[in-house]
Amino acid sequence: MKPIRHLISGNKLVLHTLFIASVLAVLLSGLYFLHVSGFRFETGPALVNCVFFLFCIYTGRWLCKLFYLRSHFWQFLIASMLAFIALSVVEYLLVKYAFHHPYAGFLELLRGDMPFYLAGVVLGMLLKLISSSMQKELKDAQLKAEQKESEFNLLQSQLSPHFLFNVMNNLYGIAIAEPSRIPPLLLKLSGLLRYSVYGGKKAFVPLKEELDYIRAYIEFEQIRASDRLNLAVDMEAVNNQNIQIAPQVLIVFVENAFKHAKNSISPKISIDISLKIKGNFICLEVSNSYEPDKSRCSNEMEDSGLGLPNTVKRLDLLYGKDYNLIQYAENGFYYIELNLKCKEK
């Protein structure tokens, strides 16, 4: 889809030129047909009317984009009236002073222009609505293609064989010392695997499911880190199923924190994870113990499966300008702040 979209966006001038030429050709053909049929009209004012109609079409496109598509209906009505008056004034001046045509008056011109203006604006709006619909379909198709392309990376990055190997070893030790803990842990592991396989195939999932997945992941990481880990988790309970989020985006930052904190040679490592809903945004803050010499990849997340470039690519694709990512190292810690605009079902 990218080449097609690039081709269309890169040839807008050509497309508009062809459109203008087509509209003028149709209008002039109509004038010629009227002339052959014996209908008398003055050429100069008739040509001005053709150009006026063309400007009405583009005015409709502009009004639709700026107001109608944003549901600013009152502004749309006011701007439509002002645009009509402005175009009519220009037409009146051209016809009167350039072609010296004695109109009875400006108000008579307004009445005569009204049908042309309405027809042009409606046509322009229809063209803009069709164009917007096609662009949305192209974007959705691109989104699906990118989502398919990233599924394999998602499956590789989450719950890697190395992670599962360590979890199984830890489960074996727990089975010997505390066998009663095994059934619920196996259920959590099953949920992790199921969500990794099926959750990543959707563009958006309920935030509650994503947080349940992260909590289960954190629990297994606690088993692996044992007593060395100083963990603080503050994730707001979210029961609203209408709040959606892109799947397996947040986990990249959580996984990265555990991975690089454990690379520290300190006997104790610290990880703080906080997630809050602030207004219309999902706010994730993660900090972890950080030693540059031992965690050389932490600022690039090269080892986190997807890596920062692919993670940012998904955020750009799914959220556009509706997210903000900040990351920095300070006083032996590495900090991640991610703000995502809530998606509604």
Domains of the chain: 2-138 (no CATH), 160-344 (3.30.565.10)
pLDDT in tens, 23-55: 767 767 766 665 556 555 555 556 766 777 788
Dihedral sign computed on CA atoms, order 4, 6, 10, 12: positive
Q: What are phi and psi of 203, to 5 degrees?
A: -70, -40
Contact 145, 1 (CB under 8 A): yes
pLDDT at 5: 44
Which residue numbers in the chain have pLDDT < 70? 1-10, 16, 24, 27, 30-46, 48-49, 95, 97-110, 146-164, 166, 199-201, 224-226, 264, 293-308
- Bridge partners of 334, per DSSP, are 288, 329
Q: 3-state class of 278 per DSSP?
A: strand
Rg of the chain on CA atoms, in Å: 31
Distance of CA 162 to the CA centre of its chain: 34
pLDDT at 320: 84
pLDDT at 326: 94
pLDDT at 224: 67
pLDDT at 325: 94
How many Cα atoms within 13 Å fall on the side-chain side of residue 318?
A: 26
pLDDT at 296: 46
Q: Which amino acid is at 85?
A: I
- DSSP 3-state helix, strand, coil percentages of the chain (rounded to 5)? 65, 15, 20
pLDDT at 232: 92
Q: How far apart are CA 32 and CA 26, in angstroms?
A: 10
Q: 3-state class of 110 per DSSP?
A: helix
Distances (CA, A) of 87 to 72, 84, 95, 333: 22, 5, 12, 62
Predicted TM-score of the model (pTM): 0.53
pLDDT at 225: 64
238-243 contacts, C-beta under 8 A, 24 or more apart: 238/207, 238/208, 238/211, 238/277, 239/208, 240/207, 240/208, 241/206, 241/208, 241/345, 242/206, 242/344, 242/345, 243/206, 243/207, 243/208, 243/277, 243/282, 243/342, 243/343, 243/344
Q: How far apart are CA 321 and CA 252, in angstroms?
A: 20
pLDDT at 274: 95
Q: How far apart are CA 12 and CA 16, in angstroms?
A: 6
